[in-house]
Amino acid sequence: MRNPKKLSVMLIAVVLTVVLAVTLCACVTGDDLDEINSETGKVSSGNNSSNAEIVYNQYTVNTATGAPAENATSYTEVIEAVQTSVVLISISTDLNTAPSAAGAGVFYGSVEGEDASMIITCCHVVEDAAIIKVTVNDGDLDSSNDVILDATVIGMDDDQDIAVLKVAGTGYNYATCRDISASPYLLGEDATAIGNPLGAGITVTKGIISGIERSVKLDGVTMTLLQTDAAVNGGNSGGALFDSNGYLIGIVNAKTTGSAIDGVGYAIPISTAKHVADSIISTAGKPEYNGLGYIEGKIRLGVSIAQINKSTVESNFPQIGTLAPKDNEYYYYVSEVTPYGSIARSDSAGAITEGSLITGVTVDGLERRFTDAYTIETMLAEAEIGDVVTFHIITVTATSTRIFGPTTYTYTESAVDITMYQYVYGFAG
């Protein structure tokens, strides 16, 4: 790849300034905008969620059925029928500050037994929010008639980039999700994005589905996404991708950028978004997780790691000698420990830290080393909540006796027992 044509994929919430007229610049340069370099997969952002108070009760949500634009005879009539299902979202990261970022969301359904409704959006739109405001689009160009609601996070999943919000009121225009099992995506079919690009308000762009099941790496996680050439920009995140009949087919979340790149946007398939949203809603309201919903049975270690081979270990860890992995084995270098995973929540929290090398695991009495056939992901897929996994680690200590003297590296091997906990994003336990 030639360096002048830098390609990257970025999540597309938009950072707002005090004056909305200059959000075009903020969209590109704001600190809260996650940008992922396609070569390194490294993300730069600050991601610690802060949620409003949550009432501890279980939820049942009634979603829309039937044709969303049954009587429409033109494209514009389809848009008219569905556009009010999309909402504008603004967030403040501090209780005492003005809105600092914007995105969109989609009305998902009404809460049974409550005067409340649920909204689907992207996790990266709201994960840092202290205050979330939702503007309900009434279809009128006069924004003075818009209704602004307070929203509460019911739950989030950072891997699939989905969040569910709760707002007061019912009777909104709930989007109808397309049944992808009965009506699969078609390459080249019409696709319409409705969102809040650059914080400018409800905006409609039209294109096609350019690709199906695209593998895209975001924040170290490989997602399977729809690709569209409908124009999407900062602020479209969390907004809708509709088909030609007004059915919701995706939640817009990312785009590819570069000096020679145009028209490469991405959306979370509605089958994925619906599965995650339904899981979050069905598990929300449990006091042990501060009311946050989650995907049941999901386990995450809560670390940022890089798989490194023998050559990389020997190049970056001088004097490691015989402790280096074998030619066909790997270690995992820990670059960060987050507060939400099993490692941070375990009784052994603090034993595995930034800079640690994970050399293997012992599961059910069997010690395993990492190879092409057995990885951290393999271990997590086989693990169950409550399992205790022994992690074999190397701790690296560098010392020098004088300022310009030689550095001595000490490598200490140890074994750490980690309990596998239910992963609930936003819950530190």
Which amino acids are annotated catalytic? 124, 161, 237
| Whole-number Å distance between alpha carbons of 15 and 90 | 10
Tell me the two tokens of residue 17: 């300034």
- Taking CA atoms, 110 is separated from 42, 93, 106, 315, in Å, by 38, 27, 12, 57
The answer to whether 358 and 393 have CB atoms below 8 angstroms apart is: yes
Please name the residue ranges forming H helices in 218-354. 270-283, 310-316, 342-345
Residues 32, 13: Cα–Cα separation, whole Å: 8
Q: What is the DSSP string of 189-237?
A: -EEEEEE-GGG---EEEEEEEEEEEEEEEETTEEEEEEEE-S---TT-T
Calpha distance 342→305 (Å, rounded): 14
Range 5-8, long-range pairs (CB < 8 A, 24+ positions): 5/258, 5/259, 5/260, 6/37, 6/258, 6/259, 7/38, 7/39, 7/256, 7/257, 7/258, 7/261, 8/35, 8/36, 8/37, 8/38, 8/256, 8/257, 8/258
The answer to whether the Cα torsion of 265, 204, 202, 17 is positive or negative is positive
Cα–Cα nearest to 120, from 253, 225, 223, 16: 253
Asked if 151 contacts 89 with a C-beta cutoff of 8 angstroms, the reply is yes
